[in-house]
Amino acid sequence: MMLSVILICFLASLLLTPVVRKIVLRFDITDKPDKRRINVVPIPSLGGVAIFIAFLIGIFLLPIDKTLMWPLVIGASVVVLTGILDDIFELKARYKMLGQVIAAGIIVFWGGINITFINLPFGGEIHFGILSIPLTIIWIVAISNAINLIDGLDGLAAGVSTIALLTIMGMAFVMGDPLVIMITAVLAASTLGFLPYNFYPAKIFMGDTGALFLGYIIAILSLMGFKNVTFISLIVPVLILGVPIFDTILAIIRRVVHRTPIAMADKSHLHHSLMKLGFTHRQTVILIYGISMLFSLFALIFTMSTFWGSFLLIFILLIVVEFFVEVLGLVSQNYRPVMRLLRMERVEHEEEQE
């Protein structure tokens, strides 16, 4: 039964995507080239609608209590509607944010999904109380926008999201959570059906419609699979979503350093920086897929590590991330503290040898 639902979702997305493409072309709903986009010709947008419809088909075919799914479906519908309006009319940031907050509020207040407490590594608990609601809403909105921010190259957001979904599904299998497994499998199949049309050279973009929708569901699935766990395990979903989260954090830091508005787009994201080094469009996407898989591998190892082993793993990961940040100039070309330190140590060593 489950395999047939997955296949139906994949085929639905595969067949619906060209239909959506024809419709949006007819109404000229396209991403036109500009200084912040990579594409040099207008590309049809709203491809996320096909992913969303395929996902809905799968949800209603799954052998689960459908009343549990209504908050998820209604919240996702609000996000998709927000994305559609933004793709067509380019909504102001505050209206776009309002739609996302409403969607997050639906899953929190109606669906009852939120992080209420975490267990500390040395004993005891931290109960968030009334803060659990705003913290959960912030998480959902942040991840939605993180996926949206990396949607800068053909197939990038769809591929990274699929890798994150498959990792969450694997974690859910280990933890024995069939509901998360089924929802994740349905969304992954729907996204994979869209990817052949979106991979370089793209015939259609998912737009904010698809990116916000994928981020919204992934954020919720990570909460469903990892809520009310230990402080260490709480880091697992952050690792799984490492690429979009770190890219978003670095974008904020970069804009603060350069004193530009946080909402202002730029061409210094991870994919832009890799292309500046000489990687082709396709090579850059595949390389970021590899980085995403590496984060997922870290997440899997993290869950099997001892307490101190987990901290050592995080320390190593942060050093590696810092090194890439400095080499690629993701904050600024002058931000290179670790590289300067290593250079100074090398110079001192050479002087001692002389």
Could you list the residue range(s) of the whole structural domain that residue 52 is in?
2-230
Kindly state whether residue 345 falls inside one of the protein's structural domains: no
Q: Give 69's DSSP letter.
A: T
Both structure tokens of 98? 């309002």
Kindly state whether residue 180 falls inside one of the protein's structural domains: yes
91: left (phi over 0), alpha (psi -120 to 50) or beta: beta
325: left (phi over 0), alpha (psi -120 to 50) or beta: alpha
pLDDT for the residue 300: 83
Kindly state whether residue 45 falls inside one of the protein's structural domains: yes
Backbone angles phi, psi at 3, to 5 degrees: -65, -35
pLDDT for the residue 299: 85
Helices 207-226 & 178-198, crossing angle to 10 degrees? 160
**Interior angle at CA 45, CA 42 and CA 50, nearest 5:** 145
- Name the binding residues: 148, 208
pLDDT for the residue 241: 84
The one-letter amino acid at 268: S
Q: Give 130's DSSP letter.
A: G
* Peptide bond preceding 201 in cis form (omega within 30 of 0): yes
List, in order, residues 6 or more apart from 281 with CB less than 8 Å away.
38, 153, 154, 200, 275
- Name the binding residues for Mg(2+): 148, 208
pTM of the model: 0.88
Other CB atoms closer than 10 Å to residue 88's CB: what's the count? 16
Kindly state whether residue 226 falls inside one of the protein's structural domains: yes
Kindly state whether residue 248 falls inside one of the protein's structural domains: no
Each of the 354 residues of the chain gets a pLDDT tens digit; together they read 789 999 999 999 999 999 999 999 999 999 887 666 666 688 999 999 999 999 999 999 998 888 779 999 999 999 999 999 999 999 999 999 999 999 999 999 999 988 777 665 555 667 788 888 999 999 999 999 989 988 889 999 999 999 999 999 998 888 889 999 999 999 999 999 999 999 999 999 999 999 999 999 999 998 887 654 555 556 777 888 888 888 888 888 888 887 887 767 777 788 888 888 888 999 999 999 999 999 998 888 877 777 678 778 888 888 888 888 888 877 777 777 877 776 755 555 555 565
CA distances from 150 to 18, 84, 135, 303 (A): 23, 18, 23, 26
Both structure tokens of 306? 């001892």
Q: Rounded to whole angstroms, how far apart are CA atoms 248 and 234? A: 19
Kindly state whether residue 264 falls inside one of the protein's structural domains: no
Kindly state whether residue 221 falls inside one of the protein's structural domains: yes
Length of the chain equals 354
CA distances from 23 to 18, 45, 293, 303, 340 (A): 9, 10, 35, 45, 54
Domain tally, the chain: 1
Kindly state whether residue 193 falls inside one of the protein's structural domains: yes
